[in-house]
């Protein structure tokens, strides 16, 4: 009996060894993983150079790992085992009872100092009133939901540090307490690093006051749920499905200010549309791109507002769901994403032509991103 069992085991093992390569050879190879929202490794080229510098074996390992048959199911299985064993963090994402939260990295204060210096320099170079809004992330607002052994970097203190280094020419817009007061509401996505439309609205109500205007009351907006199956960046990192999928809402105002033109420039050319909402993205993985579309260097939004007010927004992706609210207060909103500016900001826009300039970043991005420094202004 024992001999028979060993024989069966050996046969099964041999079949696996033979069948898996065949499945791998003939299985479809995708270039992109929708679940993980990333490009997959390409088949490496074999040459004397890639063998000599050992890159071939390294790239081959990545390729085989990325294209292993039913890889996502294997990854999800491993994650389930990790959770069963009590592991509460996977790929720097903490798994709580009702949401995923990203691990806050130790702040890079040298990078922060250099970025703040760049903003201060900008305020001296251009004739525009400069404002800075550093938004807390879900990790900053929901610290109490993290495991006791999680590294604790207080975003309140990080944001205060940034604001205290700003020059007198730059006005800080502090929304931390506003977001804390709303923490029991749906202000951050459960599976993604962005704030929700309501979270962005909460930030807008505080920001627009300091920008010298009145916020549009929430009751003036109509809420349209455009997605109920959104699983964003945090999900893509850990593939944990037990947290409910997110909903995405669009706020529109009946008889409000209308967008009349949207100019888009990705650095290679310009195109136009008449909406700030890109609904085609709702059928794909990156549904947050419904707000302003995919990330690009420059977007210029014109409205039928008659006040002639113009604002320049230099930002990360947190601004994408925030900017739609600004359309109710400004006749023109120019949006610059420095991550995609390969030349100079002035190749796209002249800051002197704008009444105000708003730097809007989330605290985690601002602490580590170097694009504000590189811009140099």
How far apart are alpha carbons 79 and 365 in whole angstroms? 27
Q: What pLDDT does 37 receive? A: 47
Q: What pLDDT does 268 receive? A: 87
Is residue 97 included in any domain, yes or no? no
Q: What pLDDT does 45 receive? A: 72
Asked if residue 127 and residue 22 are part of one domain, the reply reads no
Is residue 77 included in any domain, yes or no? no
Asked if residue 140 and residue 25 are part of one domain, the reply reads no
Closest CA to 315 of 303, 332, 298, 330: 298
Is residue 92 included in any domain, yes or no? no
CA angle 242, 87, 228 (to 5 degrees): 20
Which residues span the domain enclosing 341? 106-375
Among 15, 49, 68, residue at a domain's last position: 68
| Main-chain phi, psi angles of 125, to 5 degrees | -80, -30
Is residue 8 included in any domain, yes or no? yes
Cα–Cα distances in angstroms (integers) from residue 283 to residues 38, 84, 197, 230, 252, in the given order: 17, 33, 19, 10, 21
Structure tokens at 239: 């593939």
CA end-to-end span of the chain: 79
Is residue 294 included in any domain, yes or no? yes
Asked if residue 128 and residue 34 are part of one domain, the reply reads no
Is residue 88 included in any domain, yes or no? no
Structure tokens at 206: 């505080």
Mean pLDDT by 10 residues, the chain (377 residues): 58 52 54 50 69 64 54 62 75 94 93 98 97 98 91 92 98 98 98 98 98 97 98 93 96 95 94 97 96 96 97 98 98 97 93 98 96 90
Asked if residue 262 and residue 327 are part of one domain, the reply reads yes
Asked if residue 121 and residue 259 are part of one domain, the reply reads yes
Q: What is the pTM of this model?
A: 0.83
Q: Give one DSSP letter per residue of 165-230, joined into a string.
A: HS-TTEEE---HHHHHHTTTSS-B-SSSSSB-HHHHHHHHHHHHHHTTSPPPPGGGEEEEEEEEEE
How far apart are alpha carbons 376 and 263 in whole angstroms? 25
Asked if residue 306 and residue 258 are part of one domain, the reply reads yes
CA dihedral 72, 34, 320, 297 (to 10 degrees): 120
Taking 3-state DSSP, the helix, strand and coil percentages for the chain, each rounded to the nearest 5, stand at 40, 20, 35
Asked if residue 9 and residue 144 are part of one domain, the reply reads no
Asked if residue 263 and residue 335 are part of one domain, the reply reads yes
Is residue 325 included in any domain, yes or no? yes
Among 46, 68, 90, residue at a domain's last position: 68
Structure tokens at 267: 């650095």
Among 19, 38, 68, residue at a domain's last position: 68
Q: What pLDDT does 136 receive? A: 98
Asked if residue 343 and residue 285 are part of one domain, the reply reads yes
Asked if residue 174 and residue 111 are part of one domain, the reply reads yes
Asked if residue 53 and residue 185 are part of one domain, the reply reads no
Helical residues (DSSP H) of the chain, grouped into ranges: 2-26, 48-52, 55-66, 71-84, 109-125, 138-141, 155-165, 176-181, 197-210, 233-238, 323-326, 363-368, 371-375
Give the count of domains, the chain: 2
Asked if residue 115 and residue 53 are part of one domain, the reply reads no
Structure tokens at 196: 């929700």
**Which secondary-structure segment (H or E) carries 263?**
strand 259-265
Is residue 91 included in any domain, yes or no? no
Q: What pLDDT does 87 receive? A: 80
What is the C-alpha radius of gyration for the chain, rounded to an integer number of angstroms? 24
Q: What pLDDT does 41 receive? A: 59
């Amino acid at each position: 009996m024992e001999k028979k069992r060993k024989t069966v085991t050996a046969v099964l093992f041999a079949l696996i060894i033979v069948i898996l390569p065949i499945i791998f050879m003939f299985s479809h190879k995708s270039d992109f993983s929708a679940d993980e929202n990333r490009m997959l490794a390409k088949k490496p080229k074999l040459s004397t150079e890639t063998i000599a510098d050992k890159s071939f074996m390294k790239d081959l390992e990545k390729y085989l790992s990325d294209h292993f048959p039913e890889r996502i199911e294997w990854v999800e299985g491993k994650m389930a085992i990790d959770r069963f064993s009590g592991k509460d963090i996977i790929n720097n994402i903490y798994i709580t009872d009702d949401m995923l939260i990203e691990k806050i990295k130790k702040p890079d204060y040298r990078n922060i100092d250099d970025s703040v210096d760049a903003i201060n320099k900008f305020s001296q170079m251009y004739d525009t009133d400069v404002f800075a809004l550093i938004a807390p992330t879900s990790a900053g607002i929901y610290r109490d939901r993290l495991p006791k052994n999680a590294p604790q970097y207080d975003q309140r203190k990080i944001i205060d540090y940034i604001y205290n280094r700003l020059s007198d020419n730059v006005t800080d817009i502090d929304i931390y307490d506003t977001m804390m007061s709303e923490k029991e509401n749906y202000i951050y996505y459960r599976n993604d690093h962005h704030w929700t439309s309501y979270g962005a609205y909460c930030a807008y109500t505080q920001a627009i006051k300091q920008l010298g205007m009145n916020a549009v009351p929430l009751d003036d907006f109509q809420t349209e749920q455009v997605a109920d199956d959104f699983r964003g960046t945090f999900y893509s990192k850990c593939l944990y499905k037990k947290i409910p999928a997110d909903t995405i809402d669009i706020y529109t105002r009946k008889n409000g200010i209308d967008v009349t033109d949207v100019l888009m420039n990705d650095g290679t050319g310009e195109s136009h549309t008449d909406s700030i909402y890109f609904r085609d993205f709702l059928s794909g993985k990156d549904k947050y791109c419904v707000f302003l579309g995919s990330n690009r260097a420059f977007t210029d939004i014109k409205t039928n507002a008659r006040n002639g007010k113009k604002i320049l927004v230099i930002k990360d992706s947190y601004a994408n769901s925030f900017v739609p609210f600004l359309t109710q207060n400004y006749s023109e909103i120019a949006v610059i994403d420095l991550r995609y500016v390969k030349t100079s900001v002035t190749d796209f826009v002249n800051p002197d032509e704008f009444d105000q300039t708003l730097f809007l970043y989330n605290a985690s991005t601002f602490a580590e991103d170097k694009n504000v420094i590189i811009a140099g202004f």
